[in-house]
Amino acid sequence: MAEQTSDTPATTSLWVERTGTRRYTGRSSRGAEVLIGSDGVEGVFTPGELLKIALAACTGMSSDFPLSRRLGDSYDATIRVSGAADRENEVYPQLDEVLELDLSELDAAAQERLVALVERSVDKVCTVGRTLKTGTKVTLTVESDA
C-alpha cells in the first residue's frame, strides 16, 4: 500500500461481508455500516435500493450549496427516487427523482432561476448521476485463499 502523505487525500475502503443467506453488511473504513439483503427481508436495503438512495443523496448534496445560499442553512428537502427494474434484462431502464422543497418565499422568477441553478449544479457535480448517465466499466476479480 502506498504511504499516505499530507498531499494525498485519504481513500475510504469499502467492502461487504456475508452474514447469512443473501444477507450482507456493507462497511467502510470510516466505520459506517449498512445492512443489505433480499427484497422482503425486514431491516435491510436491496442493492438496487442502495443505488437509488446513492443517486438521491448525491442530488441532495450537489444541490445543497446553491439551495442553502438562497433558502438558508436550515431549509428542508426530501429527494424521492423511484424506478422499476426490468427483470428480464436485470437493469433499471429509468430512475426518476423528485426534489421536494418549499419555495413559497420566492416569487415565480426567483423560483425558476433557483430551479435552473439546482439542475445545473446537479448535472455538473453529482458523480453518481453522471456515472449512471454515461455508464461505467465494471471489473470483477475472484481471489482464492487456496
Check whether 4 has a pLDDT greater than 70. no
State how far the alpha carbon of 21 is from the alpha carbons of 40, 51, 87, 114, in Å: 13, 21, 21, 47
Q: So what's the pLDDT on residue 146?
A: 78
Residue type at position 36: I
pLDDT interval class at 17 (50, 70, 90):
very high
Task: Write down the pTM of the prediction.
Answer: 0.88
pLDDT interval class at 10 (50, 70, 90):
confident
Average pLDDT (116-136) is 97
Residue with cell 448534496: 61
Check whether 8 has a pLDDT greater than 60. no
Q: Single out the residue of 27, 47, 28 nearest to residue 36, CA to CA.
A: 47
